[in-house]
Chain A
Amino acid sequence: MSENAEMENRSFEQNMARLEQIVALLERGDARLADSLALFEEGTKLVSLCSGMLDNAQQQIMKLRKGPDGQLEEAPFEEDVQQ
């Protein structure tokens, strides 16, 4: 439970890094059986999590502009305003 929440809070990059680490550990094959089963389970979860992150991603496109107070701020970028 908390492990899942932790995974979901991590960035895609962190999850990929963890996944690659798990694969490397499994490849070494010297983990204890119980540990390797746990690693395998975590790895499988990470695969579906990362895959899901990609599937569900909605790209956020922001544009830097001068706000009313003269400070730079990010605002959604309207792509089709002009050409």
Chain B
Amino acid sequence: MEKHIYAVSELNLMVKTILDNVPELENVCVRGEISNYKFYPSSGHHYFSLKDENGAIRCVFFKAQASRLRFQPQNGMKVIAVGRVGVFPRDGTYQLYCASLQPDGVGDLYVAFEQLKEKLWKEGLFAPEHKKPLPAYPETIGIVTSPVGAAVHDMIRILRRRYPLAKVLLLPVRVQGPEAPPSIVRAIRYACQRRAADVLIVGRGGGSAEDLWAFNDEQVARAIYEAEIPVISAVGHEPDVTIADFVADARAATPTHGAEMAAPDQAELQDRLQSLRLHMLRLQSSRLELLRRRLENLAAKRVMTDPLAFVEDKRMLLGHVQKELYHAAEAGLTEPRRSLSALAASLDALSPLRVLGRGYAMVTDEAGQVLRRARDASLGDSIVNRLADGALHCRVERIVLEEEKQ
């Protein structure tokens, strides 16, 4: 009997039909390592191989199923793929049509979280210098959370107790499920556009990692990063950490804690106001005390207590100056006085009376004119001979002229 000659596509179809009818291949779980990973953004499909030490199988992960993928597959990653084995007739190959893919060993959420954290960290979304300070006294506190549930009530209760002065604006959002991230993003953007609050608390109460997943969403993280209003992330309970916690301006362990961070405590504020008042009072009274003391010191000065002190001082000064003047005058007179008596002495020595005392006489006519020569007198003239102790009035009886020697 002659063998049937198949067309290639006929053969592939036959193999495909056989494989399609093996129930075990309808839903298999395969463990392996990803290699030759390719993702086509235009189609949204992922292509890769799964391999172990001895073999490999082609895998395809179509967009419809892959949209639920929460992590980014990478070469070398150990995964468990779930899917159906079938033939791809065009290439004559069989491959695994994946329905889901999860990291082997760790949860896929964990991997997705770590990957997004790494990516956003590299982009600088967690940079401390980008973080904005929270307002000390917010006028409006925005709460982005679910309008139902314990979290919103806890936050309102805390804010009412701590700081009733602020208005609370609740921006209701979905906090879980696929609608949650876009709804949170819209609320944050709305608040920022309208400047609807001075600070935003974004969060929800505790839940499973899946429940909190919206706060690990990349778009939510970016909306928080871009918010002009300072954001406090307040998700879940103490140990829960979300991407929102890293990117927010402040991280609260719980919604209650978030409310505490958002507003000051009025009791503490009242204390502070009272201590400010006391401080001012003390400053002012010590200032007045200082001025009073200075005033008293000035008032106690002698010039202020004894009005005549000034006059007394001047009088003493005057006396002192007088004395000095006297001394100066004394010193100034001594020398002239000395030269005066010397002059007087020499004058005395030159006195004609002293010459007369030595036996000479001075002859004058009756008018008192001194006669220096004999010829100045005539016979019969009355002349006076003046001696030391008196005068002799005489008459010229004879004139003897001595021979003049020229």
A interface list, Cβ under 8 A from B = 11-13, 16, 19-20, 22-23, 26-27, 29, 33, 36-37, 40, 43-44, 47, 50-51, 53-54, 57-65, 72, 74, 77, 79, 82-83
Contact = CB atoms under 8 A, between A and B. Distances in A.
A27 B284 CA distance: 9
B259 to A, nearest CB: 12
B160 interface: yes
B280 A43 contact: yes
Given A11-B139, A12-B165, A13-B135, A64 B280 contact: no
Contacts of A43: 276-277, 280
B171 A64 contact: yes
Interface of B: 135-137, 139, 147-150, 153, 156, 159-160, 163-172, 187, 190, 196, 266, 269-270, 273-274, 276-277, 279-280, 283-284, 287, 291
A62 B139 contact: no
A33 B291 contact: yes
A26 B170 contact: no
Is chain A's binding surface mostly helix, strand, loop or mixed? helix
Given A57-B165, A59-B167, A64-B171, A36 B273 contact: no
A58 B169 CA distance: 14
Nearest to B138: A13
A64 B170 contact: yes
A12 B283 contact: no
B170 A62 contact: yes
B287 A36 contact: yes
Contact of A77 (B149, B165, B170, B269): B170
Contact of B168 (A53, A62, A82): A62
Nearest to B149: A83
A47 B271 CA distance: 11
A74 B276 CA distance: 37
A44 B119 CA distance: 53
Given A29-B283, A47-B274, A64-B170, A72 B165 contact: no
Contacts of B269: 50, 54
Most chain A Cβ neighbours within 10 Å, of B166, B187, B287: B287
B228 to A, nearest CB: 18
A61 B170 contact: yes
Contact of B170 (A12, A59, A63, A83): A63
Contacts of A83: 148-150, 153
A50 B280 contact: no
A23 B282 CA distance: 11
Contact of A47 (B159, B190, B273): B273
